[in-house]
Amino acid sequence: MYPGDHDPPHVQVWKGGKQVKIDLESMDVISTSHAFHSREIRQIVNLLREHESLLLSVWEGLRKS
């Protein structure tokens, strides 16, 4: 997340040269390098869901800065 980042609320996850961008409201994949296995994306989404309210709160705080 970056201050003033564009909508929709999202996070980008990097791992070993792989990248995936996930919408925090719908938990849909916005873009991916296609290097992540579907299992890995499910694990990422599950982790994001566990912390969804915190992540959205941080997103809103960054949008205001």
Mean pLDDT for each 10-residue chunk of the chain (65 residues)? 83 93 95 90 96 93 79
Range of the domain at 56: 10-63
Q: Can you give the pLDDT at residue 7?
A: 87
For residues 41 and 53, the answer to whether their CB atoms sit within 8 Å is: no
Q: Can you give the pLDDT at residue 4?
A: 76
Q: Per the domain annotation, does 4 fall within a domain?
A: no
Q: Can you give the pLDDT at residue 65?
A: 64
Domain total of the chain: 1
Residue with tokens 């003033």: 4
pTM above 0.75, yes or no: yes
Measured CA to CA, the distance from residue 28 to residue 31 in angstroms comes to 9
3-class DSSP string for 24-60: CCCCCEEEECCCCCHHHHHHHHHHHHHCHHHHHHHHH
